[in-house]
Structure 1
């Protein structure tokens, strides 16, 4: 009986480990103008939570992270939030997060 429980517990831990985010995004020079609701450190708990939702791992990174971002496609677009240049966010992240966001100064 005890061995069955330990086997089930081990299988559950392996499943959780496999489901945890392990996709560390590469950090490249920012090239994509974005309008983000906020920019936080990659070490912040909010950034870690959002990154986990989209399946990426920010551990070991120390770059600014844009949250709730949308691309700026028109010159003079009134962002109303934080205007930054980021790594081009992956489409599967759904605009929730952008990596290496630096402020745009006009």
Structure 2
């Protein structure tokens, strides 16, 4: 049987510790990114203003805006989430003392299309 001296054991142990701590960052394991729901929305969904422009540019809303003398309000009622990826946008007529709802639209938060 081969005997290893005490000095060689200590040196080997120190070398092993230094090697494992110095090389620990050089692995093939990728870091996993985690996103909060706010970051996820900002990376994948269309902007709120784009969704409003889609609704305002539709023929129905454009015709309604031309036909009414009162101001037309377009408001986002519901913002998209990972589970429900769409905006809910309401169009109303402002009569001063009250709002009269004209219609409600659902806009796909990925493509920007109005969902029937």
Q: Do both share a fold (TM > 0.5)?
A: no
TM-score (norm 1): 0.25
- Is the helix fraction higher in 1 or 2? 2
> With CA pairs under 8 Å and 6+ residues apart, which has the higher RCO, 1 or 2?
1
Bigger radius of gyration, 1 or 2? Answer: 2
TM-score (norm 2): 0.24
